[in-house]
Amino acid sequence: MFNLNVDIDINSGFCFGVVYAIEMAEDILEEEGKLYCLGDIVHNDEEVKRLEQKGLEIINHEQLSAISDSKVLIRAHGEPASTYQLALENNITLIDASCPVVLKLQNRIKNSYDKEEKIYIYGKHGHAEVVALLGQTNNNAVVFQDLEELDLAELPREITLYSQTTKSTDKFYEINEVLRENGITVKTNDTICRQVSNRDKELRNFATAFDVIVFASGTKSSNGKVLYKVCKDQNTRTYFVSSIEDVKAEWFGMNERVGICGATSTPMWLMEDIKSHLQKL
């Protein structure tokens, strides 16, 4: 027995947008026993498995085209207008669980596009939220993950800048500063979700308070990869796990303090299961 002292980070776990989507899905599954979801409802395999056992079926856009007369959940990331049009044509009832923060961002980008502004979006290429944002501009906005992707000399002298909701606030404002230093007038729209962006600051403090950190996240979670690195930078004895099966006894020593934390897509029940497992080692 290692006699580990284990604590879970109280700030970890689902963000409110994911909670909203999962609660909506569970309500329908309880009533009807089946529900389609367009894409993984959350980037966590363990939580997806739990909901699939209740009757959730994950589909992609190609499969959506072949469905009619059914209910389909739109996850927190949101969807472009083309998805809503397809649903209308196929008599699909959309259960819209788009995060309110994401919906607000979509509306602002659409308004900028209607005004014919030059729109640039700081975000991850191909990410579901970014795909939906691009859809508000008929895919005419420019998406970039790093300033190195842009030729600053060739950029319009006046642009409108947005960000994916889960990006770093500090990095977003660094980008603003560099653009302005290069003579570009930037109409800045800070649409970053503070519940997500503040997590890195909270985790820096959390990671230094323990001998070992167990970071729980799905392998598909972009947010998880970023926050894991935040912890690892503060505490070299930080380990990434997706399930209890990933936990290794050799990571721990006698009477050590262990902190468990996770991404905004990591369910609290999973972190609690890991805690119970560690206390039995």
Task: Note whether 203 and 240 are same-domain residues.
Answer: yes
pLDDT digits (tens, 9 = 90+) for 3-51: 999 999 999 999 999 999 999 999 999 999 999 999 999 999 999 999 9
pTM of the model: 0.88
- What does the pLDDT read at residue 197? 81
Residue with tokens 């990331």: 77
Domain count, the chain: 3
Identify the active-site residue in 52, 117, 129, 181. Answer: 129
Instruction: Look at residue 195 and tell me whether its pLDDT is greater than 90.
Output: no
**pLDDT higher for 52 or 225?**
52
Task: Note whether 66 and 138 are same-domain residues.
Answer: no
Instruction: Look at residue 1 and tell me whether its pLDDT is greater than 90.
Output: no
Task: Note whether 34 and 113 are same-domain residues.
Answer: no
Residue of 165, 161, 152 whose CA lies nearest to 121: 161
Full domain range(s) for residue 227: 5-13+196-279
Provide CB contacts within 8 A for 243, sequence distance 6+. Answer: 45, 46, 270
| pLDDT-based confidence at residue 206 (cuts at 50, 70, 90) | very high
Task: Note whether 186 and 105 are same-domain residues.
Answer: yes
Residue with tokens 């290069």: 182
Task: Note whether 31 and 62 are same-domain residues.
Answer: yes
Q: Are strands 5-8 and 257-262 parallel, antiparallel or unpaired?
A: parallel
Task: Note whether 34 and 88 are same-domain residues.
Answer: yes
Name the most confidently modeled range: 16-20, 193-197, 274-278: 274-278
Task: Note whether 116 and 71 are same-domain residues.
Answer: no
The two three-digit tokens of residue 196, written as one number: 């997500």
Task: Note whether 108 and 180 are same-domain residues.
Answer: yes
Instruction: Look at residue 250 and tell me whether its pLDDT is greater than 90.
Output: yes
Task: Report helix, strand or coil for 216.
Answer: strand
Alpha helix ranges (H) inside 8-145: 16-32, 45-52, 61-65, 81-89, 100-114, 128-135
Instruction: Look at residue 156 and tell me whether its pLDDT is greater than 90.
Output: yes
Read off the CATH number of the domain in which 275 is found: 3.40.1010.20
Please give the mean pLDDT across all residues of the chain.
95
Task: Note whether 268 and 211 are same-domain residues.
Answer: yes
Provide CB contacts within 8 A for 67, sequence distance 6+. Answer: 36, 59, 90, 92
Looking at the chain, the whole-number percentage of residues with pLDDT higher than 90 is 90
As to burial, measured by CB atoms within 10 angstroms (0-12 exposed, 13-18 middle, 19+ buried), residue 60 is: exposed
154 has catalytic annotation: no
Task: Note whether 136 and 67 are same-domain residues.
Answer: no
What is the C-alpha to C-alpha distance for residues 22 and 35, in angstroms, rounded to an integer? 12
Provide CB contacts within 8 A for 17, sequence distance 6+. Answer: 76, 99, 100, 101, 102, 193
| pLDDT-based confidence at residue 168 (cuts at 50, 70, 90) | confident
Q: Are strands 5-8 and 35-38 parallel, antiparallel or unpaired?
A: unpaired
What number is the average pLDDT over the span 240-263? 97
CA 173 vs CA 117, 177, 247: distances in Å: 20, 6, 37
